């Protein structure tokens, strides 16, 4: 994997207009112990604002869409929350996956079961209820308890066929078992923006987590996938950035390239 410089960026873009997709945690903000403490810096917001003046920008995250919007708080961006299950943007852009609302009562039951069993396993577990998913964070749990935590989540979810589990960095997540993910959300957004013409537009996807692989995979033949750091698994991204500070530098260069 290569780290992109300005010269390479210009060559890759050619005459095409970029459409930028970014994860939030670990990409726009460093990973922190508590998800609620992941606050985007003023400098990063300034760079995002500058990018959004020149091309379309979407933030795609496992976070709830409303949480994502309040964290970034820029009005001219597209926000895809819950791995793309709910999308909102300028000019009335909106999508909510058709199957999700009808299975919310089942998710409530899963959350209740988790609240009952997890405190006894490890006090460092954080249960993060989102609208369409539940994230079980074990970053602050004892390492020896991690297999039991993951095993218990899977055991609970097996009783609810409408849901599946997915693992990320120090998190196991419960989400609807439907054929929808960050990559499909990306393609939906490109289509709705009128940016599906591969001769005129080029998607750039930047993310740090295993769930971002769906985004990288969706554009690997015609876009630019950039992995931030490492997630310990094979990646479909062709390029690499070391950390959040390098993401900021890349975005500054990208905005400058589009002058």
Any idea which residues carry the catalytic annotation? 23
What residues have CB less than 8 Å from 99, skipping those under 6 apart? 176, 178
Residues in the chain: 259
Long-range contacts, 179-182 (Cβ 8 Å, 24+): 180/83, 180/84, 180/85, 180/97, 181/83, 181/84, 181/211, 181/214, 182/60, 182/80, 182/83, 182/84, 182/207, 182/211, 182/212, 182/214, 182/215, 182/218
Residue with tokens 């094979």: 234
Alpha carbon distance 210, 9 (integer Å): 24
Give the closest residue to 61 by CA, choosing from 238, 181, 178.
181
Give the closest residue to 149 by CA, choosing from 134, 162, 163, 160.
134
SS3 of residue 7 by DSSP = helix
Give the closest residue to 258 by CA, choosing from 18, 4, 7.
18
């Amino acid at each position: 994997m290569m780290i992109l410089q300005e010269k390479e960026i210009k060559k890759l873009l050619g005459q095409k207009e970029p459409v930028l997709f970014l994860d939030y945690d670990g990409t726009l903000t460093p990973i922190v112990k508590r998800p609620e403490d992941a606050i985007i810096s003023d400098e990063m917001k300034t760079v995002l604002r500058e990018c959004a003046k020149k091309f379309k920008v979407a933030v795609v995250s496992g976070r709830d869409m409303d949480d994502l919007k309040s964290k970034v708080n820029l009005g001219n961006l597209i926000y895809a929350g819950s791995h793309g299950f709910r999308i909102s943007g300028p000019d009335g852009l909106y999508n909510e996956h058709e199957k999700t609302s009808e299975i919310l009562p089942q998710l409530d039951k899963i959350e209740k079961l988790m609240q009952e069993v997890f405190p006894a396993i490890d006090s460092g577990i954080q249960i993060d209820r989102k609208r369409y998913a539940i994230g079980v964070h074990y970053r602050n749990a004892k390492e020896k308890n991690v297999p039991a935590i993951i095993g218990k989540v899977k055991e609970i979810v097996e009783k609810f066929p409408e849901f599946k589990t997915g693992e990320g960095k120090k998190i196991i997540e419960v989400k609807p078992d439907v054929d929808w993910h960050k990559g499909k959300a990306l393609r939906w957004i490109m289509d709705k923006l009128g940016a599906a013409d591969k001769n005129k537009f080029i998607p750039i996807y930047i993310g740090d987590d295993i769930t971002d692989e769906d985004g990288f995979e969706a554009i690997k033949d015609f876009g630019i996938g950039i992995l931030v750091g490492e997630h310990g698994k094979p990646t479909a991204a062709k390029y690499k950035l070391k950390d959040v500070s390098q993401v900021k530098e890349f975005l500054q260069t990208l905005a400058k390239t589009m002058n």
